[in-house]
Amino acid sequence: MKFSFQNPTQLIFGAGTLAELGEAVHVYGKKALLVTGGGSVRRNGTLERAVASLNAAGVSVVECSGVEPNPRLSSVVRGAEIARSEGCDVVVALGGGSTMDAAKVMAAAVFYEGDPWNMMVHVQNRVLPTKALPIVTVPTLAATGSEMNGGAVITDEKTTVKSFVTAKCLYPHAAIVDPELTMSVPPDQTAFGICDLITHVTESYFNGVDGTPLQDRFAEGVILTAMEWGPIAVADGNDLEARAQVQWASVVALNGWVQVGTAAPYPVHMIEHSLSAHHDIAHGAGLAVVNPAWMRAAAQARPARFAQFAHRVFGLSLKHPEDAEAAREGINRFEAFLRSIGCPTRLSEVGIGDELLQRYAQDTLLVAHDKHGRLPGRPSMSGEDIISALRSAL
Residue numbers of the site for a second copy (CB under 8 A)?
1-17, 211, 213-214, 216-218, 220-222, 224-225, 228-229, 241, 244-245, 248-249, 252, 257, 261
- The minimum distance between CB 194 and a second copy, in angstroms, equals 14
- The minimum distance between CB 12 and a second copy, in angstroms, equals 5
3-class DSSP state of 308 = helix
Give the nearer residue to a second copy in terms of CB position, either 3 or 320: 3
Q: Angle 6-7-13 (CA atoms, 0-180°, nearest 5)?
A: 155
Q: Quote the CA–CA distance of 156 and 173 in Å, as a whole number.
A: 27
**How deeply is 378 buried, as exposed, middle or buried, from its count of CB atoms within 10 A (0-12, 13-18, 19+)?**
middle
Give the nearer residue to a second copy in terms of CB position, either 10 or 300: 10
- The minimum distance between CB 305 and a second copy, in angstroms, equals 17
Give the nearer residue to a second copy in terms of CB position, either 147 or 385: 147
Give residue 352's identity as a one-letter amino acid code.
Answer: I
Q: Quote the CA–CA distance of 235 and 254 in Å, as a whole number.
A: 25
- The minimum distance between CB 329 and a second copy, in angstroms, equals 21
The answer to whether the beta carbons of residues 80 and 64 sit under 8 Å apart is: no
- What's the residue count for the chain? 394
Give the nearer residue to a second copy in terms of CB position, either 76 or 251: 251
- The minimum distance between CB 198 and a second copy, in angstroms, equals 13
Give the nearer residue to a second copy in terms of CB position, either 4 or 85: 4
- The minimum distance between CB 317 and a second copy, in angstroms, equals 12
Q: Quote the CA–CA distance of 322 and 362 in Å, as a whole number.
A: 33
Task: Give Cβ neighbours of residue 101 (< 8 Å, ≥ 6 apart).
Answer: 71, 144, 146, 151, 152, 153, 154
Other beta carbons within 10 angstroms of residue 72's beta carbon come to 18
User: CA neighbours within 13 Å on the CB side: how many for 158?
Assistant: 4
Give the nearer residue to a second copy in terms of CB position, either 19 or 62: 19
- The minimum distance between CB 261 and a second copy, in angstroms, equals 7
Give the nearer residue to a second copy in terms of CB position, either 12 or 268: 12
